[in-house]
Homo-oligomer: A and B are copies of this chain.
């Protein structure tokens, strides 16, 4: 995957360095805790310089969203000229969680961000709709490929929405489940245990031909030590 979290270096344009550092700081500390002055200080540039490149903080966030959107749209581009395989499905899941990870600040303060920028609100709504369509289309193609049973349209739509809810809320859940207070105390590996949860949703719909293979795939993402963190839940 692209190495998005690399620290900005001296060969980059200031504008790009600002975007990159902002993303890093937002991811580490949360957007709410990162000021424009912090970003400038982090890059050892003046606030004036930062505001030369961006009119305000919202514009920085918006541009980062556009990158995120582009990445996910790229990942969720579904080839229509061939049948879907289990590897495809794995790729989609892995990719979406990679994207979530790289831009993980975004879903944290989502509601506030959308309330402060109506342009972002509009774009994000359309983005959500595209993602929901893609998920639904993936289910359709998985049926065509005989991996999951065919389902009526409205059930597929509701299932797709549940998949979206689980995906977008998994990280928030992990962070609240964590005992540590540091925002950074979360790993990509843990995040990808969300795939286990998503595959859980598919279980009852798997065809006999693929059931065992998908269950084996799911095992790869089984949370390693959930009973220590969630002692109340039977495992």
Contacts and interface: CB of A to CB of B under 8 A. Distances in A.
Interface of A: 30, 32, 108-112, 114-115, 118, 121-122, 124-126, 128-130, 132-133, 136, 153-162, 164-166, 168-170, 172-173, 175-177, 179, 181, 183, 196-197, 200-201, 203-205, 226, 230-235
Contacts of A133: 232-234
| A interface majority secondary structure | helix
A162 B32 contact: no
A110 B170 CA distance: 14
Nearest to A132: B233
6 contacts: A154-B234, A156-B234, A157-B226, A157-B234, A165-B166, A204-B204
B177 A128 contact: yes
A111 B176 contact: yes
Q: How many copies does the complex hold?
A: 2
Contacts of A177: 125, 128
Contacts of A204: 204-205
A126 to B, nearest CB: 8
Contacts of A230: 128-129, 132
Contacts of A201: 162, 201
